[in-house]
Amino acid sequence: MIISYPLDRLYQEVAYIAYHFHWNYDDILAMEHQERQVWVKEISNINREINESRKRR
């Protein structure tokens, strides 16, 4: 049995990574789900750190 990943979630991940890192759509789409999740988490961490540093100013 093949379980597919929800298409709307896939689009969100691809858009999020492409927007922040300016990576090519095909390169992002070629990644395994787990690898995309790692990059989504890293981007989120970067954004959180930036936002926290701005609050301290």
- Domain boundaries defined on the chain: 7-55
Question: In angstroms, rounded to a whole number, what is the distance separating the alpha carbons of residues 41 and 10?
Answer: 14
Helix (H) and strand (E) counts in the chain: 3, 0
Cβ-contact 36, 28 below 8 angstroms: yes
Number of Cβ atoms within 10 Å of the Cβ of 49: 10
Structure confidence by residue, pLDDT tens digits, 1-50: 777 888 999 999 999 999 999 999 999 999 999 999 999 999 999 999 99
Indicate the pTM of the whole model. Answer: 0.83
Q: Tell me the average pLDDT of the chain.
A: 93
Question: In angstroms, rounded to a whole number, what is the distance separating the alpha carbons of residues 24 and 55?
Answer: 32
Cβ-contact 35, 16 below 8 angstroms: no
